Structures are given as structure tokens and as C-alpha cells.
Chain A
Amino acid sequence: MSERETQLRALLIGGLGGDEASYHAFLKNLSTHLRGFLRVRLARLPDDVEDLVQETLLAVHNQRHTYDPGQPLTAWIHAIARYKLVDLLRRRAGREVLNDPLDEELQVFAVSDNDAADARRDLGKLLEQLPDRQRLPIVHMKLEGLSVAEAARATGMSEAAVKVGVHRGLKALAALIRSNDENR
């Protein structure tokens, strides 16, 4: 097991236990690996790299309950990144050809890239399409940094509804990305 795998896995497990700092470090670290991994595989679609990094991060977050701590993290991340990559290529079918076989190896952590380009798709704009009961909790809690109680007060929603709103909203965001992309 590589050192990176061990380190990232510890950060994720901390995050799954509710440790925000650990989870933040995990996502930050993961994003550089994803960027490197996807940039190599999307050499012909360089503009899509950052979008896909974001989409994959959102998927990792939304599906984090499917990670089994006994499972190699590399395999889990690779499967998610590959799924999102294939999904993107399918949406772009006819326009692009894959320049690198996908199944080669689990190289998710082999390269890293800190240089975040600007995402072409603005998640902020997509966020505006969500219904208020999902959008407002996300905006107040995630973008303005309010606590659950504060967000509940600001929106007039119950604390439970705020939590559900954030959770469902992030899932809805992932679905919006897909449909938005298909209609493009």
C-alpha cells in the first residue's frame, strides 16, 4: 500500500467520523490527484478537466457512505473517477476519442496537479436552479459559513429541514450537472 493511499485513507476516515478539518484536507489532497489523473486521460478535452474534477469531488462526497474502511481507497476512488470519466465521454460521444486506455492500472494517485484551471461550468449558476428549500441551506451553510442553527433561523426552516436540504441539494446538483451537460 502506497504512502499516499495510507495518508489519504486516514484523512477520509477522519472525515467519515465527522472531522471537518480532516475531510477538508482529504478533498484538497484528492483534488490534486484527480486533476493529474484526469488531465492525462482527457488530453484532448483540456477544457473539461476542471469540470470533471469538480463533478468527481461532488460524487465522492455524495457517495462517501459507500466506502468500506477495509477497502483499498485507490480502488474506490479509481472506480468513481472512471465512472464519471466514462459518463462524460459518453455524453461527448462522437466528438472525442479516448487517447488512453482506462483500465491500465490504478494510477489515481500516481500524478498530482495543483494547478487548478478555471472550471468552465459554473456550479454557482447551477446552484441557483435548485429549489429554495435546498438552495438556501447550501448558500447559508456552505457559502456563508453559518451553523445549522443560524441557517435555520435565517431561512425560517427547521434544523432537520436544513440538514436534509443540504444533503438532497448536493445530490440534486450532481443530477443537474448530468442533465445540463446532455442538453449542451
Chain B
Amino acid sequence: MKTDDLIAMLAGDANAVAPRVWQPRYALALGAGLAGAMLLMVLLLGVRPDITAAVRLPMFWVKLAFPAALAAGALLAAVRLSRPGVATGRAGAMLAAPVLAIWVLAALALLGAPGDRAMLVWGETWAACLVNIPMLSVPAFVAVFWVMKSLAPVRPALAGAAAGLLAGAVSAVAYALHCPELAAPFIGLWYLLGMLIPAVLGALIGPRLLRW
């Protein structure tokens, strides 16, 4: 086929294209992913029984805000990495800021702790955290990859990492409603690692899954 024939063929397919289609698609993926994570959390793990008392503790909100802020940064990164020729911009700074903030809180907690510092770091459920955050991230992981696949990422490993991190962060928000831990060192370590597991997975499968 001659290039001119191809051009004529493609030009004939010039239906109007909705502008910024990635916005509704990501909104849908995020909504489905969060709903899926919440549902799995309620069905498999259960909301912590003392939730009404917990909401009065500032650390409960910190534990929600940390993954929520990471989700915002990961969403920006994922949206930008989904389209050719778009720089990641402030996404990196938006991802670094919540991590630094929780580490500062963790350092303050460790310095101010009277006795058992190890308990602040290890808590009682660190292993569950590493299993459950990746598990609850499955619906968001599938949904976000689905959307990214419909767009055109030119850096598939990085895009896959952003997609995985977004799924992990959404999942951690849901998991925080179950998890009994409240220490900043615990959150700054195990929550972060739990969210990084789907991110690493995303980086590994991105190049294979996101080709176009």
C-alpha cells in the first residue's frame, strides 16, 4: 500500500474525537478501584471495630491522608505518563512531599518515645500490611492498567510503576479503615512498602502490557 493510500484511508476515519478522554477514563478507573478496595476490605477484613473512637485521633487522619496524598501524586504521574510528549512536571515533588512529611512525623515520634521504640516501627500487624495492601489493590490495578492501555504511554516501565503506585495508594486508603496501627514510623515504613509492591509489579509488567 502506498503511503498516500494509507493517508486517504486514515483521513476517511476522521470522526470527531472527544477532547481529554483520559479525564473521564481515569475518574472511572479510580472510582471503580476505590470501590473494589473498600468492598474487599469490608468483606475479607472488616472495618476496625473501634472506628468511632479512632476517628477522634489525629493519627487516624494522618494514616488516611498519607496514602491519599500519594494517590494524588501517582494519579498526576499516571495521567501525564499516559500521553506522548507530556513531561511528568510536578508529579515527582507531589510524591516526595507526603513521604518526607510522614518520615518527619516518624522521626519526631521515635525521638519523643519514652520506652519501646521497636513497637512504634514494627507494630503488631506489619506482615498483614504487606499482604493486604497489595491484595486490596488488585481492582484498582486492573482498572488503571486498562485505562493506561487505552492511551499511549511512551515510557512503559515508568508508566506501569505510576499505575501500580496509584493502585497501591488507593488500596492503602481502604486498608487504613481496617488497620489498628497508628504509629507514624509504622505508616512511614510498612504502608509505604505495601504500596511499593504493586508499583514494582507495575514497572515490571508495564513494558510487556502497555505496548502500542
Interface residues of A (CB under 8 A from B): 15-20, 23-24, 27-28, 31, 50, 53-54, 57-59, 61-69, 71-72, 74-80, 82-83, 87, 116, 118-119, 122-124, 127, 138, 141-143, 145, 163, 166-167, 170, 174, 178
Q: Decide yes or no: A69 and B19 within 8 Å by CB, A24-B11, A63-B84, A83-B84 being known contacts.
A: yes
Which residue of chain A has its CB nearest to the CB of B12? A142
Instruction: Select one of A68, A82, A123, A178 contacting B1, CB under 8 A.
Output: A123
How far apart are A108's CB and chain B's nearest CB, in angstroms? 10
How far apart are B209's CB and chain A's nearest CB, in angstroms? 13
Interface residues of B (CB under 8 A from A): 1-22, 82-86, 151-152, 154, 211-212
12 further A-B pairs in the complex, CB-CB below 8 A; given A16-B16, A63-B151: A18-B16, A19-B14, A23-B11, A23-B14, A27-B7, A65-B18, A72-B85, A80-B85, A141-B12, A142-B9, A163-B15, A167-B13
How far apart are A150's CB and chain B's nearest CB, in angstroms? 13
Question: When the two chains form their complex, are residues B212 and A119 in contact, meaning their CB atoms are under 8 A apart?
Answer: no
Question: When the two chains form their complex, are residues A143 and B9 in contact, meaning their CB atoms are under 8 A apart?
Answer: yes
Question: When the two chains form their complex, are residues B85 and A174 in contact, meaning their CB atoms are under 8 A apart?
Answer: no
A63 CA / B211 CA spacing, docked (Å)? 12
A75 CA / B84 CA spacing, docked (Å)? 8
| Residue in A18, A74, A142 whose Cβ sees the most chain B Cβ within 10 Å | A142
Question: When the two chains form their complex, are residues A178 and B85 in contact, meaning their CB atoms are under 8 A apart?
Answer: no
Contacts of A27 in B (CB 8 A): 7, 10-11
Per CB-CB distance, the 7 closest pairs between chain A and chain B, nearest first, are A75-B85, A79-B84, A18-B16, A24-B11, A79-B85, A142-B9, A23-B14
